[in-house]
C-alpha cells in the first residue's frame, strides 16, 4: 500500500508480467518506482488488464479540470482472482480524486507450485525405496511368525499320555452308578 501518485503510462518491453495492454498517459518518476516495486515483488497492476474508455480510467483531475491522470492503482500477486477494476464516477464529496474499485472473482484459482513436479518425483523415488526395504523386512518377519506358530501348534498337538485326575475311589463310585443305572433299565424291560 502506498500513495506514490505515479503515472505508469504504456507498457514497455519486459513488463508484460506486471502491466496489461490497457494503460493511458506517460510514465513519470513515481511511475518508475511503482513499476520497480511491482517487478521486484511479482505484483500485477490490475487497472491495466481491463479495457475501458480513457474517460473511465483516470482517477485524478487537476484543480482547473484541464488534466486527467491515472495515478491510483490496485495491485495483486493473484490477478486471475479479479473480474474487473473500474473507477467510480459519482462522488458525494468534494475531491479531485475518484475511487478505484476491484471486483473479485467467485472462482478460486489454483496457484501453481513451481517445484511441485520435482518434489513429487523425489517423493515417489523415496517411497519406492522405502517399499522395497520394508517388504524385505516384512517377508522375514512373516517367515519368523509362521515358524513360531508352526512350532507352537506342533508342540500342542503331540500325543501326551493321559493322566487320571480322578482318584481311584471316585472312579469306583462312577462305575457303581453306571451299573445301577443299567440294572434299572434291565428291570424295566423285564417288567414289560
Distance CA 72, CA 6 (A): 8
Report, as an integer, the average pLDDT of 45-63.
Answer: 83
Q: Which H or E element spans position 178?
A: helix 168-191
pLDDT digit string, tens, across residues 86-144: 888 877 777 888 888 888 887 766 666 665 566 667 777 777 787 777 777 777 888 88
- From the CB of residue 115, how many other CB atoms can be counted at a distance below 10 Å? 8
Higher pLDDT, 188 or 83: 83
Which grid coordinates are listed for 104?
473479485
Q: What's residue 187's pLDDT?
A: 66
The number of residues in the chain equals: 192
Please list the residues that pair with 100 across neighbouring strands. 87
- Average pLDDT in the chain: 80
Distance CA 47, CA 18 (A): 11
pLDDT digit string, tens, across residues 25-35: 788 998 888 88
Distance CA 192, CA 39 (A): 119
Higher pLDDT, 13 or 189: 13
Domain boundaries, the chain: 1-110, 112-157
Does pTM top 0.75 for this prediction? no
Amino acid at each position: 500500500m502506498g500513495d506514490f501518485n505515479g503515472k505508469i503510462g504504456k507498457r514497455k518491453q519486459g513488463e508484460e508480467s506486471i502491466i496489461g495492454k490497457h494503460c493511458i498517459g506517460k510514465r513519470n518518476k513515481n511511475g518508475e518506482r511503482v513499476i520497480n516495486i511491482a517487478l521486484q515483488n511479482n505484483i500485477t497492476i490490475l487497472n491495466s488488464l481491463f479495457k475501458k474508455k480513457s474517460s473511465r480510467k483516470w482517477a485524478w483531475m487537476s484543480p482547473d479540470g484541464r488534466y486527467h491522470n491515472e495515478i491510483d492503482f490496485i495491485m495483486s500477486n493473484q490477478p486471475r482472482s479479479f473480474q474487473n477494476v473500474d473507477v467510480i464516477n459519482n462522488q458525494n464529496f468534494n475531491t479531485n480524486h475518484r475511487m478505484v474499485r476491484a471486483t473479485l472473482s467467485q472462482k478460486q484459482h489454483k496457484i501453481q507450485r513451481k517445484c511441485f513436479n520435482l518434489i513429487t518425483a523425489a517423493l515417489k523415488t523415496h517411497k519406492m525405496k522405502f517399499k522395497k526395504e520394508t517388504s524385505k523386512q516384512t517377508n522375514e518377519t512373516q517367515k519368523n511368525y509362521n515358524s513360531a506358530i508352526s512350532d507352537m501348534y506342533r508342540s500342542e498337538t503331540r500325543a501326551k499320555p493321559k493322566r487320571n485326575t480322578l482318584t481311584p475311589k471316585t472312579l469306583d463310585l462312577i462305575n457303581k452308578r453306571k451299573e445301577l443305572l443299567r440294572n434299572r433299565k434291565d428291570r424295566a424291560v423285564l417288567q414289560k
